[in-house]
Amino acid sequence: MVGLLELSIAAVFATILIYVFGKVSEYEGATAGYGYTVYPWFTTLPETVVTTYFALRGLYTTAIVNSVFSATFDMFAAFGLATLIHGDSKFHNRDLGILAVFAALLFLVLDFDGVITRADGVVIYVYLTAVMVYSVLRYGAGLVRVSALDAIRIAVGLVGLGIGGYMLSVIVDRMIPYIGEAVGGLIAAVSTSVPDMVVALIYGVRSEVSQSEILGCILHDFGENMGTAALIAGLIVDSTPILTAVTVAATASMLMLMMSYGRITRFEGMLATIVFIICSAILFFM
């Protein structure tokens, strides 16, 4: 199955991710536009590599579950648990939240026939690009203070994250014969999203930037993640369209609830966490 070496590699990878994400998250020039547009390219890259890997392998259920539950984990676990720990907070920038919800709805529409094609990938990327342009124009990218050394570190970090995502894919791939595709996708989603949650638990989600980072991750899970996999693999068949629809709808609905009156409460955090646990439990009985 999976040996001690693989588990050790996964642990080191997770530790590096947590450190990198924390450093990138607390970047002093950060703005809401940075958190929504730039930061997610770091956090979502491992998920994108995993989804693309399994799409190319023909393990479509693992690819879909990884993408969808990465967004769900960011929504329910990161927002939910961080709110439970740090308390109620104001919901900043509802427009960014609405755009993330639209990304989820777009994915539902494209996946309505149970197939994500290369053409769907183009549509997803067109939407992602439009949203990024809007975010930068309204909130700025926050990159004016990036030095040449920082740029090198960012490039090296991206390469490392890509390699780490591939290593995780191989580990999960070896586990799938024992645990099944759906559970494998869930493990991959949680493994690549745990650093997001840890950063949220440490720094909280009360600030404009921290909230935009989570919202940006949700956007990119449906955009960069599925869009890239569809463009490269050409075809992704969703064998569990009902579960996918329910999970995505629950994620979008929870986000809309949090935005409804401009505050994220502990009750909503508890509700979000419970719903995530229920959605995850369903995978084990598929």
Q: Report pLDDT for 17.
A: 53
Of 88, 92, 78, the residue nearest 265 (C-alpha): 88
Which residue shows structure tokens 């984990």? 73
Q: Report pLDDT for 154.
A: 67
Q: What's the rounded Cα separation, in Å, for the pair 222 and 160?
A: 22
> Which residues does residue 90 pair with via DSSP β-bridges, in sequence order?
263
Q: What's the rounded Cα separation, in Å, for the pair 269 and 88?
A: 9
Of 70, 19, 22, 80, the residue nearest 46 (C-alpha): 70
- Whole-Å CA distances, 23 to 105, 115, 217: 32, 38, 16
- From the centroid of its chain, how far is CA 165? 13
Q: Which residues contact 52 (CB under 8 A, 6 or more apart)?
A: 63, 228, 229, 232, 233
Q: Report pLDDT for 119.
A: 92
Which residue shows structure tokens 């926050």? 142
**Tokens representing 143?**
């990159």
Q: Report pLDDT for 129.
A: 92
Q: Report pLDDT for 286.
A: 64
Q: What's the rounded Cα separation, in Å, for the pair 118 and 193?
A: 26
Compute, in degrees rounded to 10, the torsion defined by CA atoms 215, 202, 247, 110.
Answer: 30
Q: Report pLDDT for 126.
A: 94
Q: Report pLDDT for 251.
A: 82
Q: What's the rounded Cα separation, in Å, for the pair 41 and 23?
A: 14
Residue 128 phi, psi (nearest 5):
-60, -45
Of 45, 4, 53, the residue nearest 185 (C-alpha): 53
Q: At what angle do helices 148-179 and 4-25 cross, to 10 degrees?
A: 140
Q: Report pLDDT for 16.
A: 53
Walking along the chain (286 residues) 10 residues at a time, the average pLDDT comes out as 50 52 50 79 84 92 90 81 82 87 90 88 93 87 61 69 82 89 88 75 76 86 90 84 81 80 81 83 75
Q: Which residue blocks in the chain are alpha helix, DSSP H?
A: 4-25, 32-33, 39-56, 60-73, 80-86, 94-110, 118-139, 148-179, 181-203, 208-220, 226-233, 241-260, 266-283
Compute, in degrees rounded to 10, the torsion defined by CA atoms 203, 190, 19, 23.
Answer: -50
